[in-house]
A and B are shown apart, each in its own frame.
Chain A
Amino acid sequence: MIRRVCVALTLTLVLCLPSFVGADSASQPGGELHFCLRGEPKTFNPLLVEEDASEAIRYLTGGVLIRLNRQTQALEPSLAVSWKVSPDGRTIKFWLRTGLHFSDGTPFTSDDVAYTMKALMDPQLHSPTGDSFRSGEGQVEIQAPSLDTVAVTFPAPVAGLERLFDQVAILSAHSPKKEMAVLGPFYVADYAPGSSVLLRRNTNYWKKDKDGKPLPYLDSIRLDIQRNRDIEVLRFRRGEIHLINALDAEYFDRLQKEMPAAAHDAGPGLDAEFMWFNQVPTAPLSEQKKNWFRATEFRKAISMAINRSDLSRVVFSGHAQPAFGPVSPANHFWFNSSLPVPQYDSVGALRLLAQAGFRLQDGTLRDSSGNRVEFTVITNSGNKSREQMVAMIQQDLSQIGIKVNLVTLDFPSLIERITRTYDYEACLLGLVNTDLDPNSQMNVWLSSAENHQWNPKQSKPATTWEAELDRLMHSQASATSDKKRKADWDRVQQIVAEQQPFIYLVNKDAMSAISPAVVGSAPSVLDPHAYWNADALRLGPDPALGAQK
């Protein structure tokens, strides 16, 4: 009897075995770069790109007029040989490369640029790329006097005009393949929804290396759709994928121990984590809390009482720097280096709070009416580093007698609270900054705008400093010289430091993982960190892969 059962058990195991043996073998390096997208690409039309996955595909397939070199942070000619911006900042004229073709053979002329710009500036089109160009009311005029020149005139000056063209991938006006005909180093060859995207080398790509060999070196790029970061790291360790574009601190340390040559930390990036208090007058909060959050001394004291270096050291294992303003020091030009760096000072914080009428009694901070100071911070669930940051802030603020609660919410509920119902007290979120130019943050600093998170969509500025911010943002948007814009933006940073509407916490480092099999990589601080020079990457034999198999 037992024997029969054992036979049956063995049969069961045998049923399962074939699935264990010979599971998908890692792809052989030999011309195909393999990495992961963190979500499903929503569109292949470069004009409609709004999330990371589509943006990655646009970067790899789109041909742009001007390319921002992610390493030097300087603008480089790409499809345009040269360009000129008029003194009033409204017109930009391009001289284009001649003799180029789209991936399907259609010739590239100024017609295509005109077609792309017309489609982009169509008022019916709603996209972040197009909206970045919209500086004022009126029609955009596009002239293509010859096959290799094109001039675009905007109704009002557009700040940082040239840089914006790094996001505009040129579409073909005449190709039957529409947006699938591209000018970039790769084109979309295959798309399996939910699974992967395959990009193949565009043989008509214009760029050549310094020896005159046509780029790109890679035959193809396979992008798997992989949402889970643990699995992404696991697959990188196994050698199934060649790079991870944005790596979190905890995975970085794990990888650095096992594969030190693969983990790259390019230094402080542009991404910031910050916290703010709800200052909306119609918010469903008690009057006393509204008064606390509106008091500048309260916000400044909270900022002083948070130990940012501990946050960087413990939560991010040293892979972050304390942040004090909206601009990261990695943004060399726009960062205001003349501002003093505040120190962690809980005694000073208490002094500042005393000025606003708060008193510390028996280890509890009370306001002038005797109410205990306590508030709740909301953040999005699933983000361990944010939860850990709030846990550390809880301890920091408990030392000045403030009790902080944390509630994590799923993202849609969180957004509903901060943009519609305003039913929250404080919120901790991060900003993923892809643009160096502060003009992209217009909708954050204007008091009438949607993203002025602490008090959005004001009919008129609620405070004098917000009115000043409005004036400065408008001034820098219409200024034509970078020096004038920098002066305005420096003043904005100063006001933010004095008023602390956003309490900036840390600037995360730009970390990526690149397999030693990838030759020619140069991880940068700007996104895409690991594959910004995809057309110059090549795959060599990987000594580590042999040992892993």
Chain B
Amino acid sequence: MIKHEKAAILFRHALRRFSFLLCLGIAGALFSATLVRFAPGYGVQERELDPRWSAQSVEALRQEQVLHEGLASFYFHYLSALAHGDFGESDSLKRPVRELLAQRLPLTGNAIIRGLGVAWLAAALLAYLGLASRGWFYEASGTAVSSLLLSLPSAVIAMLAVHLRAPAFCAISVVVFPRLHRYMRSLLVRSYDQPHVLAARARGLGSVSIFWRHVLPLAMPPLLALLGVSFAIAFGAAIPIEALCDSPGLGQLAWQAALSRDLPLIVNVTLIVCLVMLAANALADLAGRAFAGDTQ
């Protein structure tokens, strides 16, 4: 009986959380629609500079833009279409947005997950290495490498990736790694300086045992929070990197949509990115609380 009740409570809680996230995502998407609509350059097209078009054609083209003129009506139409699963049609590419998203999301998702995996592994190993050695050489070289990677423009990193024929996820891990490394290092240092760790060391416990049982649980909540953040950083980095490496993913789509002020596309891409980030962070939150023994 109690098990059923518990399951029901959990299910209700998950549903509430999920609908909350969905509402937030849609709010974010509509806010971005407002930003795009009122930014300069909305509704003008490069073709207006082409002298071959006749006056009537230019007028006809401008009339097409009237469709998105009223923001309130756009909200209404967008939400009602969304309720039917219709994401609308892209203005610049003239294809259904759902098709574009379905095509591009897996590629970007793949690149981000692999990029994050490599970055986390490398950051964790190097942070641990620096900690284990506690010498100035590791600290200095770690600092130098992080500083160098942070100072390179993402355009240069992307070009390096192309030059070395490395896939886009390598560029993403290079961008994410320095931001992770420093945080992880300071978190690990703080954790290792705790009195109970010192006591465990004095008792003669092995270093692996200390790491898994005493250091990691303390550092876990902020590390999981960092995981959520690194998702956001990776997404943010994916946009210029994909645009520069010309990898046909979501990032490149978002960049082109921004350049051509494609309202339906931008709104839907924002919605997807919002939902993914909210979901990733919610999961990281829950995991962190579970680790720390918090109950809802």
Binding site for B on A (CB under 8 A): 1-2, 5, 8-9, 12, 15-16, 19-20, 23-24, 40, 42, 50-51, 126-129, 131-132, 134, 193-195, 225-228, 230-231, 234, 410-417, 419-420, 429, 440-444, 449-451
Contact = CB atoms under 8 A, between A and B. Distances in A.
A413 B45 CA distance: 10
Contacts of A42: 93-94
B80 interface: no
Contacts of A441: 51
A12 B118 contact: yes
Contacts, number: 134
A193 B261 CA distance: 20
A193 B95 contact: yes
Contacts of A2: 129, 132-133
A429 B118 CA distance: 45
Interface in B241-296: 243-246, 248, 252, 259-261
A234 B162 contact: yes
A134 B54 contact: yes
Interface stretch (B57-65, B183-191, B194-202): B57-65
B162 A19 contact: no
Contacts of B122: 12
A489 to B, nearest CB: 15
B125 A450 contact: no
B52 A131 contact: yes
Q: Bin chain B's interface residue count.
A: 35 or more
B57 to A, nearest CB: 4
B11 to A, nearest CB: 38
The B contact surface, by secondary structure, is helix
Interface string B41-61: 110111111111111111011
Interface string B22-57: 000000000000000000111011111111111111
Contacts of A195: 248
14 contacts: A9-B125, A15-B121, A126-B61, A127-B57, A193-B93, A194-B252, A228-B244, A410-B259, A411-B46, A414-B41, A415-B48, A450-B51, A450-B58, A451-B51
Contacts of B246: 225-228, 231
With a 10 A CB-CB cut-off, give which of B41, B55, B58, B170 has the most chain A CB atoms: B41
A412 B118 contact: no
A50 B104 CA distance: 26
Nearest to A6: B129
B103 interface: yes
A132 B51 CA distance: 10
Contacts of A127: 57
A230 B118 contact: no
Nearest to B126: A9
Contact of A450 (B55, B162, B165, B248): B55
Contacts of A228: 243-246
A420 to B, nearest CB: 7
Given A12-B125, A24-B165, A443 B94 contact: no
- In the A-B complex, the 5 residue pairs with the closest CB atoms: A412-B41, A194-B248, A128-B52, A23-B165, A126-B57
B126 to A, nearest CB: 8
